[in-house]
Amino acid sequence: MKKIFVALFVGTILLAFGSGGVHAQEWSWEIPIPIWISPSTEPKLVEIAADSTTGAVFGVDESGAIRSIDVTSTATTVFGSLSTLSGGTTKDITVDPNGKVYLCTDGEIKRYYPSTQDSEALLQQPFLPLTPNNVGEYTNITAGKGGMLFVLYEATASGNQYLLRGNPPYVTESVVVRFSPRTLNLSSRGNWVTCSIDLPEGTDEHDIDLSTVKIVHISVQNPVIEAVADIPRASNSASTVTSGNGELVVKFPRYDKNQPDNPQTLVGRLLEVLNGQSDGFYQVTLTVEAELSTTGERFRGTDEIRVKLRN
């Protein structure tokens, strides 16, 4: 089986995070991933499919061969804008793990409602690759793990194909996150920081998929610094759901004595983010995300802590 290796472009991340606040978010789309760029020795793709459990993505090419598409790397996400494409012919349809139906026409990605047979375009459409006059069309759509959408786009003039990857909205309203300690000394050599996650009413914290719990963003107030993070829950630590208010309590790795600059620890990543800054205290907002194992619904919440830096 052949494997398609894709190049990921880095762009500016536009995030709707406020200092200590929580804001609703909408669909975000990653920079287009080149799949088939002419001239190419590989046949073009004619169909794509995604595994909603593992997140793997596959394609069928013109020769009938099944090919694996590498989407494992972390691409930069940006907020899309309304598509400039035109056309209304339905090209493909897919159902996500939560039972939501999506379709692509020549020029729009839409949510479809089977009960009424109505459809509406997503407010935020994919960013299109830079092609002459942005002329092209969407040809295939498939839903993957967590309700992520994958769309195949083909430019008319060149025949180049691109994979467009969309992230569904997170629930942020009424998600309460709280870290302990409230002041984190970056000279600390402790193992963990503790975090409690309280989801909106009507959801069960027991259903949170622990493998999806991670710190994904760090925001510093003064000076203003916005930084991506990828700090997963400490898998070797205990997690509990409190019996009183139903909060999930987890631990994140604080410090790695074998690799002090490990960016998948909170101290290691904060030292990177604050590199070059003066000694002192900094107000830092941490963003945590998680998914429900039952529905794939995604949640994000923020908390502000104080960080002490001493070089």
- How many Å separate Cα 15 from the centre of its chain? 12
Whether residue 286 has pLDDT greater than 90: yes
pLDDT digits (tens, 9 = 90+) for 90-107: 999 999 877 889 999 989
Q: Note the pTM of the prediction, 2 decimals.
A: 0.62
Give percent of the chain above pLDDT 90: 47
Mean pLDDT of 174-179: 95
pLDDT at 282: 97
What residue ranges do the domains of the chain occupy? 3-167, 176-309
Phi, psi for residue 230 in degrees, rounded to 5: -145, 80
Q: Which amino acid type is present at position 178?
A: R
pLDDT at 76: 46
| CATH code of the domain made up of 176-309 | 2.60.40
**Structure-block tokens of residue 125:** 């459409």
Per-residue CA distances from 198 to 18, 169, 201, 247, 287 (Å): 19, 18, 9, 5, 14
pLDDT at 104: 93
pLDDT at 244: 65
Whether residue 34 has pLDDT greater than 80: yes
For 63, residues 6+ apart whose C-beta sits below 8 A from its C-beta are 43
**Structure-block tokens of residue 191:** 């193992």
Whether 112 and 129 have beta carbons less than 8 Å apart is answered as no
pLDDT at 277: 96
Query: Could you tell me where the DSSP H helices lie in the chain?
Result: 266-273
pLDDT digits (tens, 9 = 90+) for 207-254: 999 998 999 999 999 999 999 899 999 988 889 998 666 899 999 999
For 229, residues 6+ apart whose C-beta sits below 8 A from its C-beta are 214, 215, 216, 217, 218, 263, 269, 286, 287
pLDDT at 72: 62
Distance CA 4, CA 42 (A): 9
pLDDT at 133: 66
Whether residue 114 has pLDDT greater than 80: yes
